[in-house]
Structure 1
Amino acid sequence: MPKATLTRRGRVVAAACVIGGLLALAAGGRALDAVVLPGIVALIAGYVQLARVEDPEVRRVPPPDGFVGERGEVRIELRPSTAGAAGTYLAAVADDTDEGLEGPETPIRASIGEGPVTYRVRYRKRGRRRLGPARVTATDVFGLFDREVVVDDADAVTAYPVCHPIPARFRRELYAADAVGVSRRREEFDRLREYARGDALRDVHWPTTAKRDEIVVKEFAAETRRGRVSIAGETTREREGADALASAAASLALAVLDDGVPVDLTLPAGSVSVRPGPQGRRAVLELAAVTGPGDVAVDDADVAVIADGDGARYRTRGRTVDVDELRASAADGESGGEPAPEAGGTPPEPGVGGR
C-alpha cells in the first residue's frame, strides 16, 4: 500500500507549524495555541484520513469502436475495495491513453464511492488504441497529503479509418449490371430484427420502433445475382501509404457490401470473406484498422488498391483510377445512391452511447 506524502500545501503548513512553534517558544509560548496547534491538528487529521483509505476497485468501460475523427465516452467506475472501509474520499483520476487517442489534459477531480468518472476521447489515428493504466491520487479534505495508486489494467478500442462514398458508376463496373437494381429494390421482405451498428436508417421500421423501447429494422431476403467482388491492396510506405490503403480499401468494400454484394478483402494484415450486413461491415473495418505496409497478390483480384505517400489508386479492368478524383466526383453528387457520411460510411447508432 503506498504511503501518504505531503503535498506542496502540506509542506507549507508543516513549515509554518515549525517556524510558528519556534517563534512561539521564543515569545514565551503565548501564540502557540493560535498558530501552531490548528496546523498540527490538520496535519494529523489528514494523515489519519489517508491511512484509513484502501486502494479503490477500478472498472473501466471503454467507448464503442469508431472512425477517426469521432469521439467516444470512457466511464471509470471507482469504489472502495471494502464496503464502508473509509466512506467516500476525494481523488484525482488520470487515465493514460496512447498517441492515437486525444483525452483530457489534466486529471479529473472525483469523489471515490459516489459514482463513475467519465471523460471523452477523440480517435486521432486508426488501429487498436490503448486506454490505461489509471492513476488514482487520493487526497485528504484539507489537501495536505496525497497517495497515488496505479491500476495497471488496460483496455482497447478500435479506431476505424476514414471512409468515403464511392460513385455508383464505378461500383457497377465491378459486377453484373443488374446487381445494384436487384439489391436496392429488395422486394422480398424477410423479417424484423433489432437495430445493429452499420444498418442503414432507411431500413428502420418506424411503426414497430414506436411501440417498443428499441429500434427495429427490416431485413430483406433479396441478394444480388453477382457472386463476389475481390479487393486486394498493398503499399510499401510505412505510415502515409498504410493509412491511404486502409481508407481506400475500406471505402470500396463497404460501398460494395451496401449494394448487397459479398466481398473478399485481402490486405497486408490478413484477409476476410464477408457477406452484406453489420457483421461483414465490422470485419472489413477491423481488418482495415490494423493493416500496415506490405505486399499481397493483387493481380488476381477484381480491384487492386495501390497506395503510397501520394495517395491511393484503384486498378481494375486494365485501367487505373485515382481515389481522390473518385471521391471528388462522389462529393459532386455522382454517387448514385444514398450518400454515406464523410467520417465513416455508416450512420451513428441512435440512442446508444457505449458498447
Structure 2
Amino acid sequence: MRPTLRGWTALFAVAAAMALAWQYGPRALNAVVAPLVVVLVAAVLATIRVDRPTIRRAPVGEGVVGDRRTVELSIESGSTVSATVRDDVGDGLTALAGDGQPTGTEIQPAARGTLTVDADGNPRLETTLERGDGEPNRFAYAVGLEERGEHSLGPVSITVTDVLGLVKRRFSYGETTTSSVLVYPRVYDLGSGPGDALRTFADAIGGRDRREFDHLREYQRGDSLRDVHWKSAAKRPDADLVVTEYATDDEVGSATIAAECTPGRDDDLATAAASVATFLRSAGVDVGLTLHGDAINPGSSEDRYHELLGALAVLEAGELGDDERRDADVLIQADADGTRVGLEDRSIPFDRLVDSSASDAPLSRDATEHAAPAGNRERGDADDRSGVVS
C-alpha cells in the first residue's frame, strides 16, 4: 500500500502547513493540517479494509494465426471499490483496440469503466468493482493471434484505491490466474491452386476412380478445370459451367505426411504441412503426421485433425530419419532453398500449390470448416472468433 500522486500531494501540503505553523503559529496547523490528516487516515483505513478480490478466467479457444479471440475474467469483490485491473498479454498475442488496431486510446469495454491498452501492450480496466451480491464484475477484451505456438495470458493484478484516490493497494495474482492460447499455423487454400499434382494424389489416395462417370454438377470454386464437362459448356454457352463427378470407392484411403526443416524455417514448414493436411482431409483422406520426435496416426475425426494442428502449432526445427522419409506418403521439407512438397517421385515448391489469385489469404477461422469432409461439418458454425477454430 502506498500513496497515489494525489496522496503525495496531500502529504506535501501537510508538511508545508506544519512548516508554516512552526513559523507563524499553530492556527495555520489547525486550519489546514488537521482536515488533511483526518482524510489521509480515513483513506488508509478504508484501503486496508478492502478484501482481496477473487478472479476466475474463462478458457480461451485455440485459433489460427490472424484470428481474434475474446479473453474474459470474472471478478468478485467483497466491497464496492475503485480499481484498476491489468492483465498481462504474452508474446505472440496483441491486445486489440476498438478499431481493430493494436494501439489506441480505448478498446471496446465489456464492463463499466474505461478499457485501454498501456505502453507495454497490456489491457487495463479502470472501473468500480461492485460488491458481489449478484452478477460478478466482468473484464473482457479481444486479442489478435499473431504468431504460431502456445502463448500465455496473465498473471492479473488489481490496484484498489479509496474514494478520494489518495491511497492505493495492489493485489498480485500468480499462476492461479494464468492461462494459455494455442495458435495454429496459417492454413492456405490449396483446392483452387494452379497445380493438379496434389489433387491427383488426393484422388488416388481417396479411392476416386476417374474412369467411372457418376453425375454432373454445377462448377464450384476450387474445382479442377480438367473436370469441367466442356461438351455441355459448348452446347449451352450461356449456362453455368458443370463438372464431372466420378465414382468413389467405399474404402477411404490414408496418407502420412512427414515434415522436417532446418533451423529458422519452422513457421514455413508448419504452414505447408497444415495446408496440405487440410486439403487432403477435405478430399476425404485420413491424414497422419510424422515430425521430429512426434507421430500421429492417420484419422479423419475432428479431434484427430485438431491434434494434428496442435502438433504443428508447437513444431520445432528438426530432421527425420531415413526410414521416416521413406515411409511417408507426402514429404514436406523446408530449408534455405524454400519449402517443397514431395509426392511420390515429384517435388513441388509449396508456393506453386497456393492460389495466387486469392491474394495469398489464409483460411483463418474457417480452416477446419473447409477441411471437414462432406457430411461432417457440424463444427463449422463458430462464434464470433472467440472459440475453437472450426
- Normalising by the smaller structure, the TM-score range is 0.7 to 0.9
Alpha-carbon distance in structure 2 between the residues aligned to 1:151 and 1:295: 41
Cα displacement (A) at 1:303: 0.9
Q: Is the 8 A contact 1:340 1:346 kept in 2?
A: no
Cα displacement (A) at 1:326: 1.3
Moved more, 44-53 or 263-272: 263-272
Corresponding position: 1:100 with 2:92: yes
- State the AA in 2 paired with 1:144: L
1:90-121 residue CA offsets vs partner (Å, 9 max, x unmatched)? 22222222212123435321333451111221
Residue 210 (structure 1) aligns with: none
1:152-208 residue CA offsets vs partner (Å, 9 max, x unmatched)? 1221110110110113633333244494869xxxx9xxxxxxxxxxxxxxxxxxxxx
Cα displacement (A) at 1:323: 0.8
- State the AA in 1 paired with 2:275: S
Residue 185 (structure 2) aligns with: 161
Q: Is the 8 A contact 1:258 1:276 kept in 2?
A: no
Residue 358 (structure 2) aligns with: 331
The alignment's TM-score, normalised by the length of structure 2, stands at: 0.70
- State the AA in 1 paired with 2:126: R
Q: Is the 8 A contact 1:167 1:329 kept in 2?
A: no
Cα displacement (A) at 1:26: 3.2
Q: Is the 8 A contact 1:176 1:225 kept in 2?
A: no
Cα displacement (A) at 1:139: 1.7
Q: 1:117 to 1:50 in 2, by over 3 A?
A: same
Alpha-carbon distance in structure 2 between the residues aligned to 1:121 and 1:269: 31
Alpha-carbon distance in structure 2 between the residues aligned to 1:345 and 1:354: 13
- State the AA in 2 paired with 1:231: I
1:111-133 residue CA offsets vs partner (Å, 9 max, x unmatched)? 33451111221112111111121
Corresponding position: 1:131 with 2:153: yes
Moved more, 252-261 or 304-313: 304-313
- State the AA in 2 paired with 1:110: T
Alpha-carbon distance in structure 1 between the residues aligned to 2:283 and 2:71: 34
Q: 1:55 to 1:293 in 2, by over 3 A?
A: same
Corresponding position: 1:293 with 2:310: no
Alpha-carbon distance in structure 1 between the residues aligned to 2:200 and 2:258: 16
Moved more, 296-305 or 272-281: 272-281
Alpha-carbon distance in structure 1 between the residues aligned to 2:286 and 2:342: 19
Q: 1:50 to 1:126 in 2, by over 3 A?
A: same
Q: Is the 8 A contact 2:63 2:145 kept in 1?
A: yes
- Counterpart selection for 1:242 from 251, 263, 266: 266
1:43-77 residue CA offsets vs partner (Å, 9 max, x unmatched)? 11211111001222111113211111211111111
Cα displacement (A) at 1:89: 1.2
Residue 172 (structure 1) aligns with: 199
Matched length? 303
Corresponding position: 1:57 with 2:54: yes
Corresponding position: 1:257 with 2:270: no
- State the AA in 1 paired with 2:347: T
Residue 27 (structure 1) aligns with: 24
The alignment's TM-score, normalised by the length of structure 1, stands at: 0.76
Corresponding position: 1:5 with 2:2: yes
Q: Is the 8 A contact 1:269 1:292 kept in 2?
A: no
Q: Is the 8 A contact 1:59 1:78 kept in 2?
A: yes
Q: Is the 8 A contact 1:233 1:266 kept in 2?
A: yes
Residue 63 (structure 2) aligns with: 66
- State the AA in 1 paired with 2:164: F
Identity %: 31
Alpha-carbon distance in structure 2 between the residues aligned to 1:177 and 1:346: 22
Gaps of 5+ in 2: 96-116, 131-135, 210-214, 216-247, 370-379
Residue 18 (structure 1) aligns with: 15
- State the AA in 2 paired with 1:350: A
Q: Is the 8 A contact 1:179 1:224 kept in 2?
A: no
Alpha-carbon distance in structure 1 between the residues aligned to 2:125 and 2:275: 37
Alpha-carbon distance in structure 1 between the residues aligned to 2:83 and 2:249: 56
Cα displacement (A) at 1:302: 1.1
Secondary structure in structure 1 of the residue aligned to 2:56: strand
Alpha-carbon distance in structure 2 between the residues aligned to 1:180 and 1:126: 34
When the two chains are superposed, the root-mean-square deviation of aligned CA atoms in Å is 2.9
- State the AA in 2 paired with 1:315: G
Q: 1:75 to 1:267 in 2, by over 3 A?
A: same
Alpha-carbon distance in structure 1 between the residues aligned to 2:189 and 2:328: 21
Q: Is the 8 A contact 1:314 1:322 kept in 2?
A: yes
